[in-house]
Amino acid sequence: MADSQVQGFNEAYQTLKANAEKLRNQDDLDIDALVPIVQQSAAAYAVCKERIAAVRAVLAEHLKEDAGLGDAAE
């Protein structure tokens, strides 16, 4: 699978964790290797951010519906 084709939250999150660990454990910073790591991490972050936003939207809608049902019962 290509780096730019991160599919879901879990895979994207694992990519972020792996890249953070890779950078944390580097003794010498290799700028040439940094560019693809940053690009891959940015793509993974975008996937995570999108999935979290989708969950928030669904929860907000669900909570709004629940609040509406509670008002109707009163």
pLDDT tens digit sequence for 4-61: 455 799 999 999 999 999 999 988 888 899 999 999 999 999 999 999 999 999 999 9
Structural domain includes residue 3: no
Structural domain boundaries enclosing 35: 8-73
Structural domain includes residue 1: no
Structural domain includes residue 42: yes
Structural domain includes residue 58: yes
Q: At what angle do helices 31-73 and 9-24 cross, to 10 degrees?
A: 140
The tally of domains found in the chain comes to: 1
Structural domain includes residue 13: yes
- 46, 48, 38: which is closest to 14 by C-alpha? 48
Structural domain includes residue 50: yes
pTM metric for this prediction: 0.75
